[in-house]
């Protein structure tokens, strides 16, 4: 069945789409705003857009404005229309071929745009090449097998278990399942733990692809605020989590207590103990995403949350991890740490979608995990200095934007003086920078006043990017919101 998006939802997600003081024509601003919603997934491909008259009424613009905006999008290849039926969303063939950002790259007048919509670093080239050479040497014994191991090869499961033991969390290889990245790990867990209609508690803001995965299985994300105002280590509203778990009877929660994406905040020891207690008391499975755990910049993280579940029914806390941030996203290696009984259920359900993670990549991960902390410390060093550059540039060019500076991770979460995130992200590509708008990190259109800026790119790109962001912001001709809006949760 065709999914139709309502005029009210489009209007809400467009946020302050016209906040450019008439510098762009209304139809152009509307087309830019809708294109951004398609790019960042808030309007799904294949969805039918609202009828022109209905949207015009909701946005309080003339029908001609909507008709012209739809024609622009149609010409660009973002809409397809058949006689007598509503326009449905598609993406241009070029952009499909070139990947998500291809079309927006070309939008930059002076060459390639700086892409700040991803918080990911390039590979440490020598280490990754070495790891794959070593993997090739280790491959022959596997060639005598069929090579498909849905739980992962034993040597990698042992390397991952050893990593947890070194962090003080007793773990055996039969508690580990190798996956194709942490995103895949979450998707597998949702498939087993979250029935359609089920509620899943999430940090708010949170990692957008986690929200997408929760929605894809038909579950409902229930946001619980992460408030930087609470202090870097006490930003999680633990009382709020306990009452949300009770009120909604959620069976599952997904949290990122280690250098949370997008804020970089890290939950302290006492908070972790309480989180584990909440899971146990409310019989909720807590999925802890440790993807960022190695990227501590100011202070190492406390013990894993699962440590606090020890001896009290460990199945309350399931941990997912990955080498994507510590080493390289291109490996597509992640994992799940859970009780063997849950691992068995996950292995059973995995075969419906894939039969295992490639052996070569797993072997390369074994070598990277065995290479010690030095390459990761190099990464942290780079991130520290890039974070300093980004903060300096922001305080010089956008001094009234307020950053949350967590103790690790890869990005700053900034509060702007006005609620213009979607309009800013829509116009930024023509100033040479691609951004992810704040509402991508929330539900129900929250975070129009926020933007995430990653510091995963080199210093010269960050300088160019902030100049572009400042120019785009300037072009919007922002007038500051008169009243402090309350956080939408």
Tokens of 119: 């918080």
Stretch that binds ligand PLP, among 77-85, 102-110, 176-184, 358-366 (CB under 6 A): 176-184
Looking at the DSSP assignment, which residues form a beta bridge with residue 236?
A: 226
Stretch that binds ligand PLP, among 155-163, 187-195, 287-295, 388-396 (CB under 6 A): 287-295
- Shortest separation between residue 106's beta carbon and ligand PLP, angstroms: 25
Contact with ligand PLP (CB under 6 A) among 30, 73, 182, 359: 182
- The 312-341 site mask, x for binding ligand PLP (CB under 6 A), equals ----------x-x----x----x-------
Contact with ligand PLP (CB under 6 A) among 156, 193, 250, 256: 256
Q: What number of other Cβ atoms are within 10 A of residue 21's Cβ? A: 11
- The 104-133 site mask, x for binding ligand PLP (CB under 6 A), equals ---------------x--------------
> For the purposes of burial, counting CB atoms within 10 Å of the CB of 247, is it exposed (0-12), middle (13-18) or buried (19 or more)?
exposed
Nearest residue to 422 (alpha-carbon basis) of 149, 21, 29: 29
Stretch that binds ligand PLP, among 4-12, 106-114, 193-201, 285-293 (CB under 6 A): 285-293
Q: Which uninterrupted H or E stretch holds 273?
A: helix 269-282
> Which residue in this structure is represented by tokens 């991770």?
409
Measured distance CA(321)–CA(145) in Å, rounded: 27
Question: Given the complex with ligand PLP, which of 90 and 263 has the nearer CB atom?
Answer: 263
Residue showing the smallest CB distance to ligand PLP in the complex: 181
Contact with ligand PLP (CB under 6 A) among 175, 183, 362, 407: 183
Q: Would you list the DSSP string of 134-174?
A: HHHHH-HHHHTS----TT--HHHHHHHHHHHHHTT----GG
In degrees, rounded to 5, the angle at the alpha carbon of residue 63 between the alpha carbons of residues 60 and 67 is 125
CA-to-CA dists, residue 405 to 5, 162, 308, 410, 435, angstroms: 36, 31, 27, 10, 19
Measured distance CA(40)–CA(100) in Å, rounded: 9
- Shortest separation between residue 185's beta carbon and ligand PLP, angstroms: 7
Question: Given the complex with ligand PLP, which of 30 and 213 has the nearer CB atom?
Answer: 213
Contact with ligand PLP (CB under 6 A) among 16, 50, 173, 181: 181
> Which residue in this structure is represented by tokens 């019989």?
283
- The 196-215 site mask, x for binding ligand PLP (CB under 6 A), equals -----------x--------
3-state SS, 51-100, equals: CHHHHHHHHCCCHHHHHHHHHHHHHHCCEECCCCCCCEECCCHHHHHHCC
Question: Given the complex with ligand PLP, which of 282 and 324 has the nearer CB atom?
Answer: 324
Question: Given the complex with ligand PLP, which of 153 and 178 has the nearer CB atom?
Answer: 178
Stretch that binds ligand PLP, among 277-285, 289-297, 341-349, 381-389 (CB under 6 A): 289-297
Looking at the DSSP assignment, which residues form a beta bridge with residue 452?
A: 413
Measured distance CA(455)–CA(392) in Å, rounded: 12
Number of residues this chain uses to bind ligand PLP (CB under 6 A):
14
Does residue number 51 form part of the binding site for ligand PLP (CB under 6 A)?
no
Question: Given the complex with ligand PLP, which of 19 and 203 has the nearer CB atom?
Answer: 203
- Shortest separation between residue 64's beta carbon and ligand PLP, angstroms: 41
Interacting residues with ligand PLP (CB under 6 A): 119, 181-183, 207, 256, 261, 289, 291-292, 322, 324, 329, 334
């Amino acid at each position: 069945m065709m999914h139709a998006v309502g005029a009210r939802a489009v209007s809400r997600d467009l946020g302050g789409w016209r906040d450019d003081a008439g510098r762009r024509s209304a139809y152009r601003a509307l087309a830019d705003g809708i294109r951004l919603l398609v790019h960042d997934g808030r309007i799904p491909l294949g969805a039918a857009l609202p009828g022109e008259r209905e949207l015009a009424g909701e946005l309080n613009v003339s029908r001609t404005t909507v008709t012209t905006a739809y024609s622009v999008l149609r010409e660009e290849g973002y809409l397809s229309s058949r006689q007598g039926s509503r326009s449905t969303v598609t993406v241009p063939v070029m952009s499909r071929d070139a990947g998500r950002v291809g079309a927006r790259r070309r939008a930059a007048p002076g060459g390639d745009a700086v892409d700040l919509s991803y918080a990911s670093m390039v590979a440490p080239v020598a280490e990754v090449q070495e790891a794959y050479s070593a993997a090739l040497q280790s491959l022959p014994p596997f060639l005598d097998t069929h090579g498909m191991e849905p739980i992962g090869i034993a040597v990698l499961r042992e390397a991952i278990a050893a990593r947890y033991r070194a962090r003080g969390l007793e773990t055996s290889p039969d508690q580990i399942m190798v996956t194709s990245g942490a995103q895949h790990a979450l998707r597998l867990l949702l498939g087993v733990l979250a029935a359609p209609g089920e509620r899943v508690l999430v940090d708010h803001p949170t990692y957008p692809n986690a929200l997408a995965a929760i929605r894809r299985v038909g579950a409902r994300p229930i946001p619980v605020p992460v408030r930087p105002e609470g202090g870097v280590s006490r930003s999680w509203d633990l009382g709020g989590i306990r009452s949300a778990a009770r009120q909604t009877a959620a069976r599952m929660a997904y949290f990122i207590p280690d250098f949370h994406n997008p804020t970089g905040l890290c939950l302290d020891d006492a908070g972790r103990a309480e989180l584990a207690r909440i899971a146990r008391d409310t019989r909720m499975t807590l999925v802890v995403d440790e993807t960022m755990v190695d990227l501590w910049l100011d202070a190492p993280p406390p013990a894993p949350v699962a440590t606090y579940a020890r001896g009290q029914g460990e199945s309350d806390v399931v941990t997912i991890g990955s080498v994507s941030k510590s080493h390289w996203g291109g490996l597509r290696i992640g994992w799940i740490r859970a009780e063997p009984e849950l691992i068995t259920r996950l292995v059973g359900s995995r075969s419906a979608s894939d039969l295992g993670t490639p052996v070569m990549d797993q072997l390369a991960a074994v070598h990277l995990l065995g290479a010690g902390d030095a390459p990761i410390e190099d990464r942290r060093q780079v991130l520290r200095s890039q974070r300093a550059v980004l903060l300096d540039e922001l305080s010089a060019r956008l001094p009234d934007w307020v950053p949350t500076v967590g103790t690790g991770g890869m990005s700053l979460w900034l509060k702007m003086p006005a609620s213009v995130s979607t309009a800013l992200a829509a116009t930024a590509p023509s100033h040479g920078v691609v951004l992810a708008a704040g509402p991508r990190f929330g539900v129900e259109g929250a975070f129009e006043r926020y933007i995430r800026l990653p510091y995963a790119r080199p210093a010269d790109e960050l300088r160019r990017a902030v100049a572009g962001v400042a120019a785009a912001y300037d072009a919007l001709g922002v007038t500051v919101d008169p009243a402090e809006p309350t956080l939408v949760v």
